[in-house]
Structure 1
Protein backbone atom coordinates (compact mmCIF):
# COMPACT_ATOMS: atom_id res chain seq x y z
CA UNK A 1 0.00 0.00 0.00
CA UNK A 2 2.82 2.37 0.87
CA UNK A 3 4.49 1.70 -2.51
CA UNK A 4 1.38 2.70 -4.44
CA UNK A 5 1.11 6.07 -2.67
CA UNK A 6 4.85 6.71 -2.86
CA UNK A 7 5.09 6.17 -6.62
CA UNK A 8 3.05 9.26 -7.66
CA UNK A 9 5.01 11.43 -5.22
CA UNK A 10 8.33 10.24 -6.64
CA UNK A 11 7.06 10.77 -10.18
CA UNK A 12 6.08 14.37 -9.39
CA UNK A 13 9.45 15.01 -7.76
CA UNK A 14 11.27 13.59 -10.78
CA UNK A 15 9.29 15.87 -13.12
CA UNK A 16 10.07 18.92 -10.98
CA UNK A 17 13.76 18.03 -10.98
CA UNK A 18 13.75 17.67 -14.77
CA UNK A 19 12.02 21.04 -15.27
CA UNK A 20 14.40 22.79 -12.88
CA UNK A 21 17.45 21.45 -14.67
CA UNK A 22 16.02 22.31 -18.10
CA UNK A 23 15.49 25.94 -17.06
CA UNK A 24 19.08 26.33 -15.90
CA UNK A 25 20.66 24.74 -18.97
CA UNK A 26 23.04 26.79 -21.06
CA UNK A 27 21.43 27.88 -24.27
CA UNK A 28 22.83 29.17 -27.54
CA UNK A 29 22.88 32.72 -26.18
CA UNK A 30 25.49 31.69 -23.60
CA UNK A 31 27.69 29.46 -25.76
CA UNK A 32 29.38 29.76 -29.12
CA UNK A 33 28.79 26.99 -31.63
CA UNK A 34 30.17 28.84 -34.68
CA UNK A 35 32.75 31.59 -34.83
CA UNK A 36 32.80 34.72 -36.95
CA UNK A 37 36.19 34.69 -38.67
CA UNK A 38 36.59 38.15 -40.20
CA UNK A 39 38.09 40.89 -38.02
CA UNK A 40 35.56 43.27 -36.50
CA UNK A 41 36.59 46.93 -36.31
CA UNK A 42 37.46 47.67 -32.69
CA UNK A 43 35.47 50.93 -32.80
CA UNK A 44 32.36 48.79 -33.41
CA UNK A 45 32.92 46.68 -30.25
CA UNK A 46 31.27 47.98 -27.09
CA UNK A 47 31.98 45.12 -24.65
CA UNK A 48 32.93 41.45 -24.57
CA UNK A 49 32.43 38.43 -22.35
CA UNK A 50 33.91 34.96 -22.10
CA UNK A 51 31.64 32.00 -22.66
CA UNK A 52 30.88 29.78 -19.70
CA UNK A 53 33.19 26.90 -18.78
CA UNK A 54 30.15 24.65 -19.30
CA UNK A 55 30.11 25.39 -23.04
CA UNK A 56 31.53 22.81 -25.47
CA UNK A 57 33.81 25.43 -27.09
CA UNK A 58 35.72 28.28 -25.50
CA UNK A 59 34.70 31.56 -27.06
CA UNK A 60 34.42 35.30 -26.70
CA UNK A 61 31.15 37.13 -27.32
CA UNK A 62 31.63 40.66 -28.60
CA UNK A 63 28.71 43.05 -28.18
CA UNK A 64 28.79 45.70 -30.88
CA UNK A 65 27.62 49.31 -30.76
CA UNK A 66 24.30 48.28 -32.34
CA UNK A 67 23.84 45.58 -29.62
CA UNK A 68 24.60 42.62 -31.90
CA UNK A 69 26.33 39.70 -30.22
CA UNK A 70 29.10 38.01 -32.22
CA UNK A 71 30.96 34.84 -31.25
CA UNK A 72 34.67 34.85 -32.01
CA UNK A 73 37.54 32.44 -31.43
CA UNK A 74 39.83 33.68 -28.64
CA UNK A 75 42.78 32.04 -30.41
CA UNK A 76 42.76 34.60 -33.23
CA UNK A 77 45.34 37.37 -32.84
CA UNK A 78 42.88 40.06 -33.94
CA UNK A 79 40.51 38.97 -31.15
CA UNK A 80 43.22 39.34 -28.50
CA UNK A 81 44.19 42.77 -29.86
CA UNK A 82 40.53 43.86 -29.85
CA UNK A 83 40.13 42.69 -26.23
CA UNK A 84 43.22 44.68 -25.23
CA UNK A 85 41.87 47.84 -26.91
CA UNK A 86 38.41 47.42 -25.35
CA UNK A 87 39.98 46.83 -21.92
CA UNK A 88 42.08 49.98 -22.32
CA UNK A 89 39.03 51.99 -23.43
CA UNK A 90 36.96 50.76 -20.47
CA UNK A 91 39.83 51.55 -18.08
CA UNK A 92 40.20 55.09 -19.44
CA UNK A 93 36.46 55.71 -19.23
CA UNK A 94 36.36 54.56 -15.59
CA UNK A 95 38.84 57.26 -14.49
Structure 2
Protein backbone atom coordinates (compact mmCIF):
# COMPACT_ATOMS: atom_id res chain seq x y z
CA UNK A 1 0.00 0.00 0.00
CA UNK A 2 2.84 2.39 0.89
CA UNK A 3 4.52 1.68 -2.44
CA UNK A 4 1.36 2.69 -4.32
CA UNK A 5 1.28 6.06 -2.58
CA UNK A 6 4.94 6.69 -3.35
CA UNK A 7 4.38 5.76 -7.01
CA UNK A 8 1.37 8.10 -7.27
CA UNK A 9 3.32 10.87 -5.61
CA UNK A 10 6.17 10.43 -8.11
CA UNK A 11 3.75 10.54 -11.06
CA UNK A 12 2.09 13.67 -9.69
CA UNK A 13 5.48 15.31 -9.13
CA UNK A 14 6.60 14.48 -12.68
CA UNK A 15 3.38 15.94 -14.10
CA UNK A 16 3.79 19.18 -12.14
CA UNK A 17 7.45 19.44 -13.08
CA UNK A 18 6.72 18.98 -16.79
CA UNK A 19 4.13 21.80 -16.77
CA UNK A 20 6.57 24.12 -15.04
CA UNK A 21 9.26 23.35 -17.60
CA UNK A 22 6.87 23.88 -20.54
CA UNK A 23 5.66 27.25 -19.26
CA UNK A 24 9.16 28.64 -18.89
CA UNK A 25 10.14 27.98 -22.50
CA UNK A 26 11.17 30.93 -24.58
CA UNK A 27 9.58 31.58 -27.92
CA UNK A 28 8.51 34.44 -30.13
CA UNK A 29 6.23 36.99 -28.51
CA UNK A 30 4.43 38.28 -31.60
CA UNK A 31 3.61 36.10 -34.58
CA UNK A 32 1.20 36.81 -37.41
CA UNK A 33 -1.06 34.12 -38.80
CA UNK A 34 -2.86 36.30 -41.34
CA UNK A 35 -2.16 39.65 -42.96
CA UNK A 36 -4.31 42.77 -42.83
CA UNK A 37 -5.97 42.80 -46.28
CA UNK A 38 -6.15 46.56 -46.95
CA UNK A 39 -3.67 49.36 -47.43
CA UNK A 40 -2.96 51.59 -44.42
CA UNK A 41 -2.34 55.33 -44.72
CA UNK A 42 1.30 56.18 -44.11
CA UNK A 43 0.51 59.06 -41.75
CA UNK A 44 -1.25 56.69 -39.33
CA UNK A 45 1.81 54.46 -38.87
CA UNK A 46 4.29 55.58 -36.21
CA UNK A 47 6.67 52.60 -36.18
CA UNK A 48 7.11 49.01 -37.27
CA UNK A 49 9.00 45.87 -36.38
CA UNK A 50 9.51 42.49 -37.98
CA UNK A 51 8.29 39.20 -36.55
CA UNK A 52 10.72 36.67 -35.13
CA UNK A 53 12.35 34.19 -37.50
CA UNK A 54 10.71 31.33 -35.54
CA UNK A 55 7.22 32.49 -36.52
CA UNK A 56 5.47 30.43 -39.19
CA UNK A 57 5.06 33.45 -41.48
CA UNK A 58 7.30 36.46 -41.96
CA UNK A 59 5.49 39.72 -41.35
CA UNK A 60 5.97 43.39 -40.60
CA UNK A 61 3.94 44.69 -37.69
CA UNK A 62 2.89 48.32 -38.04
CA UNK A 63 2.16 50.25 -34.86
CA UNK A 64 -0.38 53.03 -35.25
CA UNK A 65 -0.09 56.27 -33.35
CA UNK A 66 -3.71 56.88 -32.42
CA UNK A 67 -4.37 53.85 -30.23
CA UNK A 68 -1.12 51.93 -30.58
CA UNK A 69 -2.68 49.11 -32.56
CA UNK A 70 -0.39 46.41 -33.93
CA UNK A 71 -1.30 45.42 -37.50
CA UNK A 72 0.29 42.51 -39.37
CA UNK A 73 1.13 43.19 -43.02
CA UNK A 74 2.92 41.32 -45.78
CA UNK A 75 6.48 42.70 -45.99
CA UNK A 76 6.85 41.75 -49.66
CA UNK A 77 4.17 44.19 -50.85
CA UNK A 78 5.52 47.32 -52.51
CA UNK A 79 3.47 49.78 -50.41
CA UNK A 80 4.67 48.08 -47.20
CA UNK A 81 8.29 48.31 -48.34
CA UNK A 82 7.74 52.00 -49.12
CA UNK A 83 6.30 52.71 -45.68
CA UNK A 84 9.13 50.83 -43.93
CA UNK A 85 11.73 52.70 -45.99
CA UNK A 86 10.09 56.02 -45.15
CA UNK A 87 10.03 55.21 -41.42
CA UNK A 88 13.67 54.09 -41.54
CA UNK A 89 14.72 57.35 -43.23
CA UNK A 90 12.72 59.40 -40.73
CA UNK A 91 14.47 57.74 -37.79
CA UNK A 92 17.96 58.89 -38.93
In the superposition, the TM-score normalised over structure 2's length comes to 0.74
Offset at residue 12 of structure 1 (A)? 2.8
The corresponding residue for 1:78 is: 79
**What root-mean-square deviation, in Å, do the aligned CA atoms of Structure 1 and Structure 2 show?**
2.8
Larger radius of gyration: 2
Cα distance in 1 between the residues matched to 2:89 and 2:10: 56
CA deviations 1:36-89 (Å, max 9, x no partner) are 122211111111111111111111110001201100011111110000001111
Query: Counterpart of 2:16 in 1: which secondary structure?
Result: helix
Structure 2 unaligned runs (5+)?
Answer: none
- After alignment, is 35-44 or 66-75 more displaced? 35-44
Equivalent residue runs for 1:49-88 within 5 Å: 49-66=49-66, 67-88=68-89
Q: Which runs of 5+ in 1 are unaligned?
A: none
Q: Distance in 2 between matches of 1:46 and 1:9?
A: 53
Residues 45 and 24 of structure 1, relative CA distance in 2, 3 Å threshold: farther
